[in-house]
Structure 1
């Protein structure tokens, strides 16, 4: 797409913010066709085929269809509407035409990710790995009993659906939860939300004491999408603001570099890191993260998509499109989420 065309399309969409939705609705009336990308989980096909047939749509296998369900840009073709079966849409958002509508799946993922965070926050607090090791060796050792958190405050970077669910869950444990987001817009799931740039900025400078006293945090959760702005956002300077925090990353591994994390662990700024996402996946066996007792790695399982989630998201989006309303699951293309 040339810069001139890109500018014209942006101007057109600014003048008529529903132009893509109306185009999709018209295309669905004329050509109610759906294609599943080759990357779609085969276990979902039965549920998706049922959804297609019960909504007056026709599944096709050719290159072009009005709606394409895929997470792979190579499968888009000439679609008017692309639905990602996953929450992460960075590959699609960066390549899809401005004139196409992009929606994504969230479903029950926030609740399951919040459950994951709860599991590992409690496991670390209650020394679960240590007691499992003691069980295997028949060791009775009460020298380091579980203790309440030193500080009853948590910081969650990213206040979208995932971050909000995490905040509500940590709140049930008694944490005061501070959210950091791009805009600092208030969210009832958090005790307070601050603009990320004002709290930390994009440099290695220490945050202002008037915005965030990160040294009070017991838990730091990264719930960020992958965008150019979040790539490497968690810098050594940002982590220097913390004092022995438990870092949990359920967003994107690109948010914090391995060297940055290892440095923070060595310095005691991070006491433990629980990583469901890493810079490179699968995490290579050569990574130093595998050999640290202060790191727990899980294989990107905290928010696995279910077939029912995809069907629910498609159902809601189709209803909204046919009513001439922008779907709540639509992706803000320039934000990347």
Structure 2
């Protein structure tokens, strides 16, 4: 069955039975906003407690709440729990909203904070220390590699380019994308030798903007990190992309000079993790791209308009790829 035919069938199903199941996993603070949106679009909203009745659209993050729905919408950007569990004919959409821009701001903030040694000056200020020795040096390199060129990676590239960064993207397809100076194919694993032939400055920043899929788990290998010389690694995608031991080894050998991690292999990160005790590591608790209720409603509304027009939503997820 073609995507176009599936979308047309879904549009008809919404016309005949415009029922929305709101999963019990949806944030309590979002439920009123989603319910108000559904009513404004002539959709009947129900909860997971309503049994014996199919819903055309399910808004949820869990397969159990999605059962029987022809369309499932994730209120978050991540769909790693949904995509592998849904039948192939189901339309899965996700929420991005303003998240890409906020994640880009996060990356920009920490790239500048690390370069300008803000942690050192905050500590000096707290101890009333005036120490002008070893001031922040002008960047000798302004090359950035972004692994993952989706909505998040694209926003990051666009933002860092405004500072003069030469941004190279690594993606599954290697397809050129305007915010990037170049895009190289990932292949099975990132090929470190591919970076050797890049025109432009040495790489100073490495950003991981990958979703969690079986293919991206452990994708950033020790061999890949050895291609870099004292890079600042920032991970805003999923912690599974780089193993903790791999990262610690890259720090110990100088291939990574600092790691800013909004995501980690283990979440929440336990107090016994060695990452907490490395001064070269900065950890934030998965806050770079928090989803807002307005993002969820806007994402749903855009997808609904496209479905009703017989168009596959731009927020649709390829179930076989997981993004």
* TM-score tier (shorter): over 0.9
Please, which runs of 5 or more residues in structure 2 have no aligned partner?
none
Indicate if the aligned counterparts of 1:215 and 1:243 stay in contact, CA closer than 8 A.
no
* Cα displacement (A) at 1:210: 5.4
- Distance in 1 (alpha carbons) for counterparts of 2:77 and 2:31: 19
C-alpha separation in 1, matches of 2:310 and 2:205:
42
* 1:122-156 deviation digits (Å, cap 9, x = unpaired): 00001011111111111111122112222111000
1:215–1:242 Cα contact (<8 Å) kept: no
Q: Name the residue aligned to 2:76.
A: 86
| Farther-moved stretch of structure 1 (42-51 vs 242-251) | 42-51
For residue 10 of structure 1, what is the aligned residue in structure 2?
none
C-alpha distance in 1, partners of 2:189/2:98?
32
Distance apart, 1:30 and its partner CA: 1.6
Q: Is this contact kept in 1: 2:166–2:201, CA < 8 A?
A: no
Q: Is it true that 1:136 corresponds to 2:126 in the alignment?
A: yes
Deviation string 1:71-92 (CA, Å, 9 cap, x unpaired) is: 1122112111100001111111
Query: CA offsets, 1:145-194, max 9 Å, x none?
Result: 11222211100000011000000111011100001100110100111111
Does residue 43 of the first structure (1) align with residue 43 of the second (2)? no
* Residue 79 to residue 121, structure 1, CA distance change in 2 (3 Å): same
Aligned partner of 1:334 in structure 2 is 320
Q: Does 1:149 align with 2:139?
A: yes
Q: Which runs of 5+ in 1 are unaligned?
A: 1-12
1:251 to 237, 262, 266: 237
Measure the CA separation in 2 of the matches of 1:211 and 1:49: 53
* C-alpha contact 2:141 2:201 (8 A) present in aligned 1: no
Aligned length: 319
1:165 aligns with 2:155: yes
Aligned to 2:100, the other structure's residue is in SS state helix
TM-score, with normalisation over the residues of structure 2? 0.95
Quick check: 1:114 aligned with 2:104? yes
Using the TM superposition, give the Cα deviation of residue 215 of structure 1 relative to its aligned residue in structure 2, in angstroms: 8.9
Superposed displacement of residue 212, structure 1:
4.4
Is the Cα contact below 8 Å between 2:166 and 2:200 reproduced in 1? no
Partner of 1:187: 177
Q: Residues of 2 paired with 1:332 and 1:140: CA distance?
A: 55
RMSD: 1.6
Deviation at 1:227, TM superposition (A): 1.2
Contact 2:73 2:92 in 1 (8 A): yes
- Comparing both chains, which one has the higher relative contact order based on Cα–Cα distances under 8 Å and sequence gaps of 6 or more? 2
Partner of 2:33, secondary structure, is helix
Name the residue aligned to 2:189: 202
Q: CA deviation at 1:209?
A: 5.7
Corresponding residue for residue 174 of structure 1:
164
| Partners of 1:67 and 1:80 within 8 A in 2 | yes
Q: Which residue of 1 is the match for residue 298 of structure 2?
A: 312
Residue 6 of structure 2 is aligned to residue 20 of structure 1: yes
State whether residues 23 and 80 of structure 1, in contact with CA within 8 Å, keep that contact through their aligned partners in structure 2: no
Shift of 1:206: 4.5
Matched, 1:74 2:61: no
Distance 1:85 1:209, change over 3 A: closer
Q: 2:283 aligns to what? A: 297
Compared with structure 1, are the counterparts of its residues 116 and 210 closer, same or farther at alpha carbon in structure 2 (3 Å cutoff)? closer
